[in-house]
């Protein structure tokens, strides 16, 4: 068993401990129209307008659906985004033109709309998924996408998996949102390096030049910092643990941001 394969396996274990929802189906707080009317005034619609619709809350991220997934789901359109949360056990693909949703990418939102069930030959591949048909979007300041565990907890898990002497790595560049490689692999951010580098531990082999790395925030507070940095287009430095990830990649579990 090679060192690279061991790092890859351990990285999947670490995914559970960081701000990453891979294989931990996040879900949406679903409210009936009457509850929506009573508990918030974000959507300025009366009960007649809300008839037959629900309100959903969460963070919008890329869907990660491949062409094979679309065919398997038997969908007429290709959802580019999905709605995620950290409370229940459901997923929602957003059945709406991507240009309508893209400005909300990475944002906490309320979505008003209807949902349809998804029927597939094998429900195992897409557990707890529904198709959400949005009719209205509004901002939500309070949703928790991935929990807020202290960074110290992530560091302890890294040390337990790799040893206390496992070094950190600092990367300099600009943070960007990242399209997921799969619907359930939460690689939602990356850093585009100021200067490309060649990493001797690259799972692809030696001599490959790397222009960007997937980055995983330690918690939701850090994820919100990522979003602010993206909006400012600032160049920053990130410190974290660079380990093997999905599909022969290297992933940085971030523990510190230096602006």
Show the domains of the chain with their CATH numbers.
3-20+146-258 (2.40.50.140), 29-139 (2.40.50)
User: Percent helix, strand, coil in the chain (nearest 5)?
Assistant: 25, 35, 40
Residue recorded with tokens 């459901």: 90
Residue 230 pLDDT: 97
Residue of 40, 131, 15, 37 lying closest to 77 (CA atoms) = 131
Q: Which residues of 14-30 are buried (b: 16+ CB within 10 A; e: fewer)?
A: bbebbbbbbeebbbbbb
Whether pTM exceeds 0.85: no
Sign of CA dihedral 117, 129, 96, 111: positive
Q: Count of alpha carbons within 13 Å of 170, Cβ hemisphere only?
A: 7
Residue of 56, 70, 181 lying closest to 118 (CA atoms) = 70
pLDDT per residue rounded down to tens, the chain (259 residues): 444 444 544 454 454 445 655 544 333 333 433 444 444 443 333 223 445 688 888 899 999 998 888 888 878 788 999 998 766 667 799 998 888 899 999 999 999 999 888 776 665 567 778 899 999 999 987 776 666 778 888 899 888 988 999 999 999 999 999 999 998 899 999 999 999 998 877 777 777 889 999 999 998 899 999 999 999 999 999 999 999 888 888 999 999 999 8
Residue-wise pLDDT for 4-21, tens only, equals 444 544 454 454 445 655
């Amino acid at each position: 068993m090679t060192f690279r394969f061991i790092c890859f396996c351990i990285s999947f274990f670490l995914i559970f401990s960081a701000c990453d929802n891979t294989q931990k189906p996040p879900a949406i707080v679903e409210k009936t129209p009457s509850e929506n009317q009573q508990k918030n005034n974000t959507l300025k619609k009366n009960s007649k307008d809300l008839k037959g619709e629900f309100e959903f809350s969460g963070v919008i991220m890329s869907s990660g659906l491949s062409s094979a997934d679309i065919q398997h789901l038997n969908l007429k359109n290709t959802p580019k985004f999905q709605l995620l949360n950290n409370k229940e056990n459901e997923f929602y693909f957003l059945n709406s033109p991507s240009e309508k949703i893209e400005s909300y990418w990475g944002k906490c939102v309320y979505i008003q709309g209807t949902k349809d069930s998804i029927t597939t030959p094998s429900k195992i591949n897409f557990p707890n998924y529904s198709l959400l048909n949005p009719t209205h979007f509004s901002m939500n300041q309070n949703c928790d996408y991935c929990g807020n565990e202290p960074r110290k907890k992530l560091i302890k898990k890294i040390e337990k998996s790799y040893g206390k002497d496992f070094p950190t790595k600092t990367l300099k560049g600009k943070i960007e949102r990242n399209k997921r490689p799969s619907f359930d692999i939460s690689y939602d951010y990356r850093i585009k390096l100021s200067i490309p580098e060649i990493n001797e531990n690259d799972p692809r082999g030696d001599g490959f030049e790397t222009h960007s790395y997937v980055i995983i925030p330690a918690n939701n507070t850090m994820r919100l910092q990522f979003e602010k940095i993206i909006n400012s287009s600032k160049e920053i430095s990130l410190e974290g643990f660079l380990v093997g990830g999905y599909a022969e990649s290297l992933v940085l579990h971030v523990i510190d941001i230096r602006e």
